[in-house]
Chain A
Amino acid sequence: MALTGVEIFKLLPKTNCKKCGHPTCLAFAMKLAQRQASLDACPDVSEDAKRVLGEASAPPIRAITIGTGPVAVKVGEENVLFRHEKKFVNPCAFGIEVKDTMPDEEIKGLVDAVLNSEIDRVGQKLRIDTILISNESNDVKKFEAVVKTVSEKAPQVPLIISAKDPSAAEAAIKLVADKKPLLYGADDSNAEAMANIAKKYKTSLGVAADGLDALSVLTEKVKGLGVEDIVMDSGARTAKDIIEHNTLIRRAAVKKNFKPFGYPVITFAQNSDPMLETLKATLGVTKYSSIIIMSNIDKWKNLVLFSLRQNIYTDPQVPMQVEQKIYSIGEPTPDSPLTITTNFSLTYFIVSGEIENSKVPCRLAVMDCEGLSVLTAWAAGKFTASKIAQFIQESGVENEIKHRELVIPGYVAILSGAIEDKLPGWKVVVGPREANGLPAFLKSRSN
């Protein structure tokens, strides 16, 4: 439970010594309450206050990291139920299941698909985050061999080792312990042995229960055994159970501070119908799953789910933006066309992508409109003739180009006359409405 500024103030030294950079202890407390300052800034805070504040400021859902290095995935740390309240924090991880009963070729194919899954979208590099390897065969040797194959083929990819049999679990974990995998498969019957393996090899532990009551007992049991990094599977497999369990878990953790549910949730969304699998994953992304496991990772499905995750996990207050400046696409000469758009990331990436497609070197003037799309910025009075004129004049682009022609988006054709009035000597050319018309448009003009 977050503390208020006044509650935090009561725990501070109250000397107003200003060492934290704030005029008073109360001012510092207010910043802490808004999570705009860190307690470390006060050198005189007591150990006791540190402990209380530390507990209170810990997010209601624990952060879990799987893997190491640059592609490690961190999940959890969520604070709210609805994205309009506050940004969802750590995007859920997408994973694929490799069963040790699959033929070698299939396993290699799946691993290759993971390795090739990276897609660049709106400036972010997105990929399938993790591979879950399951001990379907119940054969320790077979499991070891598959874990070995996968981890050699995909040494960077974070792994989830799934086994019910502790001896299989340990044999596999031993091979990849340095990669900080998640060990999944602790249940009522094997919790002690699995907890011991997780502790011994310092991995996080995934627990599986049948229903919420059993789950709360299980996480408490595992925690009592000394494992703190837990991932939860409530046993929900149908869409109906997933929405019910995930909602109740998130509510209990966030609103009731119910500690046994203060961990990320793993959801198995597998379905023989790929569209239904897409929909179950959609449910997981929107309603509180932190790790979503699928049966295959068709490229089209990845694109859909990466886009959805990006949408759901963006900050509701701040649209994704790019820097205001004149971007060079290709190697523009002083005669190359000059185009203009707004600094909404989505707009910028669509437009710059289409200019690249055209193979016509161009300058793209990206104007700060607080991250709004062209039409939204225009409707909000941020993409107006006078602002555009001022931006062009102040950008210095006039020194880089010989001509005086500006290509504007087709949807704001209405601005062309007014821009010409405000930019003496310039000619405004109305481009196509949709960016996908740009390649044909630019090619026809460059001939």
Chain B
Amino acid sequence: MAFAAPKETYSGKVYEVTIGTEKTAVFGGENVLPFHSFEGTTPNKPVIAYEIQDVSPDDWPETVKNVYAGVSGDPVKWAKYCQDELKADAIALRLTGTHPDRNNRSPEEAAKTVKDVLSAVNIPLIILGSNHTEKDSSVLVMASEAAKGRNCIIGKAQEANYKTIAAAAMANNHKLIAMSELDINLSKQLNILITQMGFDKEKLITDPMCSALGYGLEYTYSVMERIRLAALSQNDATMQPPMVGDVGMYVWKIKETQAAEAELPQWGSLEERGIAWEVATAGALLISGIELLIMRHPKAVDAVRKFISEIS
């Protein structure tokens, strides 16, 4: 029996998204499953954005906090460090300090931070709220305005607050992350609701909600695979925006990235364990369909970049 390679051709294609102005980053555009370059086109590699915050990352574990010790007190310094020293392709600025339980910073303060960061760097910026749905809708509106003309990504619009956030992203010509909670139908529905407002579906980025390895990763993994299959084999336009994985945030809060080796000798070195946790979470999600990653540890980012080059 001679072997005839069972290659698949799909009717659908993932939208290609470009972010930034001076220096840009491009992702998506493929018409096959992730890294299946042997049967279709995969014009762009996935992009990794370094996560920074508007407040110092007191709640990050030592392993990753120490990396940014000299710069993390100031988002502008932090951003420049990522751009100049770490050669980041993009930055994700999380406005953690606006959360009512954190520093409860005002939308105006957030907008100023955004402006300051944008004037210091020329790589693309992703602007994230604090994930407080109510507060985000005021914070992200002002942040969108502050970033007008810079072709950023604004996130995250959720079922409870998408209207104001999508309107602001649209008015200021940004891309938008639509996040729903680990359910393909919810994700599809939110994309539909947002495009019904007149938002261009080719400017959307889907966040089906991330989870860390060992903590529900299998759900994110399978929802992403199903979204990608719907986009490609059913040519379902509502599922064709590229996907983002907010990996660092989920990984660096679990016990496996924090517990000392002395406490749990069977788990081995804490430093490597934490990095590898971020690496493997990102790796598995890349294979299931992510085009844009948000990560924290430079060594994890480097390893994932090398892997992307090897598999592309």
Contacts and interface: CB of A to CB of B under 8 A. Distances in A.
A303 B268 contact: yes
B276 A220 contact: no
Chain A at the B interface: SS class: helix
Given A240-B37, A279-B279, A311 B3 contact: no
Contact of A251 (B6, B299, B303): B6
Contact of B222 (A247, A260, A316): A316
Interface stretch (B107-115, B135-143, B185-193, B283-291): B283-291
Contact of A240 (B3, B35, B255, B302): B35
A305 B37 CA distance: 26
Contacts of B258: 436
B280 A278 contact: yes
Interface string B5-16: 111100000000
A242 B225 CA distance: 19
B306 A304 contact: no
Contacts of B5: 212, 248, 252
A268 to B, nearest CB: 14
A282 B281 CA distance: 9
B307 A311 contact: no
Interface stretch (B49-57, B156-164, B209-217, B242-250): B209-217
Interface string B215-236: 1111001100110010000000
A34 B280 CA distance: 35
Interface stretch (A168-176, A293-301, A332-340): A293-301
Interface stretch (A94-102, A199-207, A269-277, A415-423): A269-277
A84 B280 contact: no
B269 interface: yes
Interface in A273-294: 273-276, 278-280, 282-283, 285-287
A148 interface: no
B218 A301 contact: no
A302 B256 CA distance: 12
Contacts of A259: 1
A239 B307 CA distance: 7
Nearest to A297: B268
Nearest to B304: A279
Contact of A311 (B218, B277, B287): B218
Contacts of B272: 274, 298, 300-301
A251 B38 CA distance: 14
Nearest to B267: A303
A402 interface: no
Given A251-B6, A302-B268, A276 B307 contact: yes
Contacts of A256: 6
Interface string B133-157: 0000000000000000000000000
Contact of A239 (B7, B276, B311): B311
A216 B276 CA distance: 36
B283 A283 contact: yes
Contact of B310 (A240, A305, A436): A240
Given A276-B306, A298-B269, A311-B218, A304 B276 contact: yes
Nearest to B217: A311
B273 A260 contact: no
Interface in B247-269: 255-256, 258, 265-269
A243 B299 contact: no
B213 A308 contact: yes
Given A82-B229, A279-B280, A316-B222, A273 B268 contact: no
B312 interface: yes
A436 B255 contact: yes
Contacts of A255: 6
Nearest to A243: B35
Contact of A305 (B218, B265, B280, B299): B280
A50 B300 CA distance: 54
Contacts of A7: none
Nearest to A253: B6
Contact of A275 (B3, B215, B268, B303): B303
Tell which of A220, A260, A261, A312 has the most Cβ of chain B within 10 Å. Answer: A312
Given A276-B307, A279-B307, A311-B217, 11 more contacts: A82-B229, A84-B226, A252-B3, A282-B280, A282-B284, A300-B273, A304-B276, A308-B217, A311-B218, A346-B214, A436-B258
The 8 closest A-B pairs by CB, nearest first: A299-B268, A275-B303, A300-B268, A300-B273, A239-B311, A216-B3, A307-B214, A282-B283
Interface of B: 1-3, 5-8, 35-38, 213-218, 221-222, 225-226, 229, 255-256, 258, 265-270, 272-273, 275-277, 279-280, 283-284, 287-288, 299-300, 302-304, 306-307, 310-312
Interface of A: 82-84, 119, 121, 212-213, 215-216, 220, 238-240, 243-244, 247-248, 251-252, 255-256, 258-261, 273-276, 278-280, 282-283, 285-287, 298-305, 307-308, 310-312, 314, 316, 346, 350, 373, 436
